[in-house]
Structures are given as C-alpha cells and as structure tokens.
Chain A
Amino acid sequence: MPLDPLPWSQQESDTELTLTFDLAIYSLEAIQRACYWLTDRCYAHIETPSPEQARVRLVLKNPSESLRDLAGDLGNRVLDEQLRRQISAETQAVRDLIVAQAFAEADLEESREGDYNEDHEGIGR
C-alpha cells in the first residue's frame, strides 16, 4: 500500500507534486542547489509567487519511483544546502585569505599588465 504523501507537499498527480518553501527560512540558492541534485530523477521547476515564498514543482522521470521519497529527499537536501550556504558565507573571507596566501608567490597573470602573448616567462622562447 503506498504511503501517504508528506503533509507539507501537495500531490498534483501520480507523477507530480508541489512543495512551497518559506524564503525567510530557506534561501532561493539553497532550494536551487537542492533541486539540481534531483534532476537525474525528476524535472524541476521553481517559481516565486511572492517575495516570501518559493514554489517547487517536480515531475518524476520514472513513474514507478515514489513521489513521497522525492519530496522527503528535497526537504532534507534543502536543509543541508541552507547550512552549506551559511557555512560558506561565514568562511568565505578566510577561504579567500588562504588561497591568496597559498599563491602569493605565484606570478598570476592578473597581477601583470599586458597579456600572456607577451610571454613574460619566456616559455615560448
């Protein structure tokens, strides 16, 4: 016997469901990233009917797959993606510092005037 759909999802048909996310809790980017990882299993469409909400419509590629599992996976993935966005925002400045420090001695092209065709390193000679 099939399980009931998750209460926060709206089943539109045997292969389609809609989930609504509160943008005060989840960022649109987190929702987009979570949807990306499900695109091997479903077609995804995201819209924002209001500034406070994002609505995700998913249509199964394989009709034998469980819509309930899909809805559950999306909900959990969005949570993790949201946390990833928070960690990323919190650590971005340090990450930039580490990369800058790691390659401080590298002769990066951006630091030069002119372009690579001038062959500063004499590689072409």
Chain B
Amino acid sequence: MTGPLILRQGQRIGRQRFSGREAFRSVSAYYLLPFRFERFCGNEVLVVNDVGEHLFLTASDFARFTGHELRSDEDVYLTLKGKHFLADSDSLVPVDLLAIKARTKRAHLEGFTKLHIFVVTLRCEHTCRYCQVSRVTQDRKRFDMSEAIAHRAVEFTFRAPAERIKIEFQGGEPLLHFERIVQVVREARAKAAATGRHVDFVVASNLALLSDEMLEFFQQERVSLSMSLDGPAFIHNMNRPRPGGDSHEVAIASLTRARAALGADAVSALMTTTRLSLDHPRQIVDEYVLQGFHSIFLRSLTPLGFARRTAPRIGYDIDRFLRFYEEGLDRVLEVNRGGYQLVEVYAQLLLTRMLTPYSTGYVDLQSPSGAGIGVAVYNYDGDVYASDEGRMLAEMGDKRFRLGSLQADSYDEVFGGTRVRELVESSCNESLPGCSDCAFQPWCGADPVFNYATQGDIVGHRPDSDFHRKNAFIIRHLLELYRSDEGVRRIFWRWIRGNTIGDPNAESTT
C-alpha cells in the first residue's frame, strides 16, 4: 500500500477485520480559553488563565497545546481542560465557571471604600529617619485635626456603601491627639449602629505614649493596635530616634500592657526595612518570634517624603531588598518548621491570589489599584487623598493625589471626580503596558502613586519599575519554593487558610 491510510471506525481494509488504533483516537478539536504565559528555566512554561489558575508545561507540550496538536486522551489535555485553559465543546459551562471566578476575584470592588484613614495629627515625638510626614512641634492648632473636620470625615466614611468599614488612625503619632480618636470612634459607632454596618478600628502607633486611660477606652471600644517594630533594639532604636534613645524598650513595655488589656491578637506589628536592616533579616524575624508575634511583613522603604530625601543615607536598591526578603523568608520558613506559626504577610497575600479563587484587600495588589476606591485618607487639615502615599507626597509639596476637601467639596465631587476616575483607568493592569501580557497579571496589582513618585507618571514604565521587579521576583520565588518542597507547601497552605478564614476582602494597607 502506498500513501497514508486514514482509518475510521468500522472501515475495513482488505482482509483486516478491525480498524487500526488511530480509528479509536478521539478527534481533538479544541479551542483555547484566555491565558498568558511566561517561560521558566528548565524548559518549562508557566501558563496562567485570567482567573489566576496556573500550570507548568514542558516547552514541547506548550507548543503542541498552542498549536492545537494535543490529543484528547493525553493527561496534559485533561489537565488543561480541567483548569480551564482549553474547551472542546459548544457548551458555555467553561465560560460560566470562569465568569463566576472572575467575579469572585474582584469581590473587593464591591462596597467601594472600606478602609478610611484618619490622620488625626501630624505631630510626633519620634524623629524616625525614614518618616515621610511627622512633625516634632508643639503647634497643636496647626497640625491637629479639628472636631469639625473629624465629624465631616465620619460623614464621608459612612457615605461609602461598604457593609464592613475599617477606620485606621494614623499620624504623626495619633496618640498625641487621643481626644480626636475618642470622638471619631464614638461618632462612627453611632453611625454604624444607625445604618446597620460593622466598623473596626485600629490605631497605628509607636505605643510610646500609651496610657492606662487610653487602654481602657480601647478595651471598651474593641480598638486594636498596630505598632512599629523594626527589629531588635539596635535596629529599632537607630531607625526610630526619640529623646532617651529608648524607643524599643518603651514600645515593648507598652506591648506587654496592651496585650494584657486587649488580648494577644489585638496588637500587630509593622516593620520598615532600612539599609541597616538589610544585613540582619534573621535577627529581625527572631525578634518578632521573641515578642510573640505570629505575623511579620517584610516591607521595603517607601521612596516618598523624607525617605526620598534621606535615601542616600538609609535607602537601597530593590535588588538588595530582594536578597533581604529572600533571606528573611527563609528564616520565617525555618521558624515554621520548628513548630512556631509565623506568617510572612506579603507572601501570604500573593499566595492567596495565586492559589485560591479569592481576592485580597491589600491596596497595592489589586487591579484596579485600591487608591481612591478601596482606601481614602482624611488628612488633619481636611484634605482627602487617594492613599497614604498620596498624602505623603502632598507633605512634600506635590498634591497630585489630592481628591478634594472635606470642607469645600461634596462626597460626589471627591469620590466621583476626574482624579479618582483617572486613577482607576490608569491602574487596571489588564491594560497597562507590560502588564497586559504578563503571566503574573492576575496575581499582581498596580500602584499608580508609586509609579508617579518614582517615575513621574502614574502609568509607569515596567522595564524600569521597582514595583514590577519586586513582584516578579517574589512571585517566581514563591512558585519555586512551593514546587520544591512538600513541607513548604503545607506551611503556605496554613498561611492561606489563615487568610481566607479571616476576611480576605477586608481592605488594608498593611
């Protein structure tokens, strides 16, 4: 016989009683569902669909997949079909399922602004080297939020349709203006009760001024605390000078009292990484364990405000930070292997986005960014900003992210105006240059304020972007860790479950 034989079921050729093997092979006519891809070393290709489900394929399987050459009886075909990378019938079920997942992934958009930051004062008794905004001054009138502005800010807060609202007090040092905290908590409680909503409160503080009277109020009103802890005393005190040079000792003493009054879970801690921190990731992680914390957020320095001015002294490039992050995360995993539960918060946020259908409320890991729609900042002087970083830029004289004024503008003008719309349009990473084709796009976010501060443009330039560099590196690193070790997988899933059992959609900047 010459030429190719195409056998169909039931055909008989010559004396052959049964058809050949090819006759029983499923005909594979499939179509591709939307996805993006990224090549990894080791001849592997990562494919990620629009709702963040992912697979690693060999380069050969990837080429056959995109060339429509897979057979329907192959394992890789079934896996791709099961994870919604291809479909092979006219059924709309894959579209329906993907639509549900797409909606779930964007659940954080529902309810509009959930996080409301009240800058009750700009005054502070610390002179932190990286601080963007604080003022050491006795001029209360000039840098404290007035009663009228606070009242108006509470009104704005409850115009947002969110069922669950979080109010965060910041400064300066907010405890320097405790009476304004009391006013806002009481007014917000009354508004929440009247409108059937839930409101949570958190005070971001160095805790140095925490008095028994304050603790009693926080206990009554179930206000939680977010303290600054940059690491062991030699790092913390160097980063956070105050008269006496004892910021660490004072903070830890207050932490003990706060936990006794409010409960262990009511106090969390935040660290900022300076150049000094970079050589001590293990000591910083160990300090968090020593102080009994179960989460640590290895955060890079925000290149804004005073931090930008002092960058030559305390700053560093992003690659140096990423080495620090890698070492710090290694230590966090070691601690977990030793039986102590410690979550690295940025990894937890990314893993939740990578491995579950849920969205996360972290402002900078959203598309569109949470600036102006997930978070609002009410400054001490009545100005409203799209994010805390936007407020910090304003303190440097650049009011690019000022949305309006509590005194002069209506809610509609502030949150429905061109500034907010421009921010949203410029922070959908589905359509941003460089992001739109990136395999990590469904897991990542956009940060227009960071882009503007570092590159002078809210859209940003991805090849030079530290935001891109950081997230691309960390996502790759997490994928490698996750795939390399069963023990790491178990730890990561514990972190994810802890996140999703809580409220994954609760808005946060921390």
How far apart are the CA atoms of A103 and B415 in the complex, in Å?
22
Tell me if A's interface is mostly helix, strand, loop or mixed.
helix
- Which residues in B have their C-beta under 8 angstroms from that of A83? 37, 66
CA distance A112 to B344 in the complex (A): 44
Instruction: Answer yes or no: B189 CB below 8 A from chain A CBs.
Output: no
Are B35 and A91 in contact, CB atoms less than 8 angstroms apart?
A: yes
* Contact of B98 (CB < 8 Å), options: A36, A37, A98, A117: A98
Q: How far is the CA of A102 from the CA of B359 in the complex (A)?
A: 15
Q: Which residues of A contact B103 (CB under 8 A)?
A: 102-103
Contact A101 B95 (CB under 8 A): yes
The verdict on A124 contacting B36 (CB below 8 Å), with A97-B95, A98-B102, A101-B95 known, is no
Partner of B464, one of A40, A88, A95, A99: A40
Q: Is the CB of A91 within 8 A of B463?
A: no
Is A3 part of the binding interface, using a Cβ–Cβ cutoff of 8 Å?
Answer: no
Q: Contact: B411 with A123, CB < 8 Å?
A: yes
**B159 is contacted by which of A39, A97, A99, A123 (Cβ under 8 Å)?**
A123
- Interface residues contributed by chain B, number (CB under 8 Å): 34
Q: When each residue 193-229 of chain B gets 1 if its CB lies under 8 Å from chain A and 0 otherwise, what string results? A: 0000000000000000000000000000000000000
In the complex, how many residues of chain A place their beta carbon closer than 8 angstroms to a beta carbon of chain B? 32
* Contacting residues of chain A (34-51) with chain B, CB-CB under 8 angstroms: 36-41
From A33, A88, A92, A119, give the contact of B412 (CB < 8 A): A119
Q: Which residues does chain B contribute within 8 Å of A101, judged by CB atoms?
A: 95-96, 99
Contacts of B161 in A (CB 8 A): 121, 123
B456 at the interface (CB under 8 A from A): no
A116 touches B35 (CB 8 A): no
A91 to chain B, nearest CB (A): 4
The residue in chain A whose Cβ has the minimal distance to the Cβ of B437 is A84
Cβ contacts A97-122/B at 8 Å (1 or 0 each)? 11101111000000000001101010
Interface, chain A (partner B; CB < 8 A): 33, 36-41, 80-81, 83-84, 86-88, 90-92, 94-95, 97-99, 101-104, 116-117, 119, 121, 123-124
- Can you report 27 A-B residue pairs in the complex whose CB atoms are below 8 A from each other? A36-B434, A37-B462, A38-B463, A39-B464, A80-B37, A83-B37, A83-B66, A84-B36, A90-B31, A91-B34, A94-B31, A94-B33, A94-B34, A98-B34, A98-B50, A101-B95, A102-B98, A104-B99, A116-B416, A117-B412, A117-B416, A123-B411, A123-B416, A124-B159, A124-B410, A124-B411, A124-B416
New A-B pairs, 7, CB < 8 Å, besides A41-B463, A94-B31: A36-B462, A84-B437, A87-B37, A87-B66, A88-B437, A123-B160, A124-B412
